[in-house]
Amino acid sequence: MSGNFIIKLILPKENKSFPSKVFSCPSVRKIFVNIRPLNEFDSSAIDEHDLDQAEKNILLRRRENNIPTIRNILKRLELNKTSSEDVDKLKNELLKLPNDTHPRLWTYENRPKETLLCDQSKIGTKSVEFSQVCKFNNMLRMHQLGNYTGQKSYYLFGKLAELEQALIRYTLSILKQKQFRLLAVPDILPKHIIEGCGMPTDGDRNQVYKLDSGDCLSGTSEMSLAGYYSNKLLKENNLPIKVAAVSRCYRAETSGLQEEKGIYRVHQFTKVEMFSICSELEAHDMLEHFKDIEIDIFKNLNLHLRLLDMPPTELGASAYEKYDLEAWMPGRQMWGEISSCSNCTDYQAKRLNIKYITNEGQNKWANTINGTATAIPRLLIALLESNQKGKYVLVPDVLKDYLNTSILTKEKLIPEVKLVKQIKSKE
């Protein structure tokens, strides 16, 4: 196929299950014309240059390259335009295309660009590790829970449980000042909402818990918030929309790494999420806004921070650009990710059918931004390891009113539990 070869394909009119909303890759904008339904779409707009650009983007992000498969399907469809089987295969392959990549990231390879947001001299100081602090103060239990919660579960007690609630309330107070609207969201979602956000639900390596009903447990309230706006046509005058939610998050991921022991990586946890729907012209500035909010939240907790501008290999499927925020954990002597925020451009909006109508009456795809305002477990680790003074853990000033104390004190001894083997009765 030459560089100027044009693939001519008109999808059969009777195929109603081939919506344009499922696609997004700005490097092949000519393939997926804004708003126009694909069952009315003449694929003469697809040429080799478009496919080459999409392939370069896939290789840059080190994702599975399915462009050769797409080319083969298009060749077959050129010969048999009414093949519903190939049309379905093409749809499935196009769904795998990742978002485009911001040009500033093209030279990053697999290394993030780091910006230190604290005094370098503070890094390297040693403190007591989180689990030891909790053991001394009777604040946490993770062991001997296998019979009823399984591994990677935990109980918080006393002041540590109160600290979780204090962090939530403190975070929400800041988001309220920033004009976010708070929503309470469901934790059980249909799989198409989760997949529409860029998270696969099938395969051996996915992170999603699936229920017998076919629905899934949400991995983040970003999914519920995005789902709330699915199939909606918004007005430009009402953009940007900024919403937030507190929810439990469920992740099937596991890790055997020593540095990720304890509550650093668990199967369920509480998180405060920020989410925005905006126009394409507002998207990058909204990402910067989310990043600045996150930095403000954590700096007030006496944490030592660094900002990572993430490379293409760390963007997943949906992100066009992404920041990670890490805190120094002096008890573990490591940097640990405590937050991130991503600009997903129109990737999620096209899959979930979120549009807005401009003041001139034109329909356009919306853009979506997401960010973690507070993820409790890792934030607790960073807090307890960064605010030690002698044998005590000091409460940051911004949390004192929520906890009614300036020091985390030792709890009364919590009764131990023992793991008892289950004995099956003989029939």
Helix, strand, coil percentages for the chain (3-state, nearest 5): 35, 20, 45
CA distances, 306 to each of 120, 328, 336, 369 (Å)? 10, 8, 10, 21
Q: Provide CATH code, domain 105-408.
A: 3.30.930.10
CA distances, 16 to each of 38, 39, 44, 257, 369 (Å)? 9, 7, 20, 47, 30
Question: Residues near 291 by Cβ (< 8 Å), separated by ≥ 6?
Answer: 307, 323, 325, 341, 371
The Cα angle at residue 252 between residues 181 and 415, in degrees rounded to 5 = 90
Which residues carry a binding-site annotation for L-serine?
220, 251, 273, 370
pLDDT score at 415: 57
pLDDT score at 154: 86
pLDDT score at 266: 87
pLDDT score at 193: 95
Q: Which two tokens stand for residue 282?
A: 């507002």
pLDDT score at 227: 96
pLDDT score at 418: 54
Q: CB count, 10 Å around CB of 333?
A: 15
Is 410:392 a contact under the CB 8 Å cutoff? no
Is 348:275 a contact under the CB 8 Å cutoff? no
Question: What are the structural domain ranges in the chain?
Answer: 48-97, 105-408
pLDDT score at 45: 55
Which residues carry a binding-site annotation?
220, 251-253, 266-269, 273, 337-340, 370
pTM value is 0.86
Which residues carry a binding-site annotation for ATP?
251-253, 266-269, 337-340
pLDDT score at 39: 41
- Say how many CA atoms lie within 13 Å of 71 toward its Cβ: 16
pLDDT score at 9: 37
What is the C-alpha separation between 208 and 49, in angstroms, rounded?
A: 36
Tens place of pLDDT per residue across the chain (427 aa): 333 333 333 333 333 333 333 344 444 444 444 434 434 344 555 678 888 989 999 999 999 999 999 999 888 888 877 678 887 888 888 888 899 999 999 999 889 999 988 888 777 678 999 999 998 888 888 876 666 666 678 889 999 999 999 999 999 999 999 999 999 999 999 999 999 998 888 876 678 989 999 999 999 999 999 999 999 999 999 999 999 999 999 988 766 666 667 778 888 999 999 999 999 999 999 999 999 999 999 999 999 999 999 999 999 999 999 999 999 999 999 999 999 999 999 999 999 999 999 999 999 999 999 999 999 999 999 999 999 988 889 999 999 999 999 998 876 665 555 555 554 444 4
For residues 345, 348, 353, 355, the Cα torsion angle rounded to the nearest 10 degrees is -20
The Cα angle at residue 406 between residues 403 and 409, in degrees rounded to 5 = 80
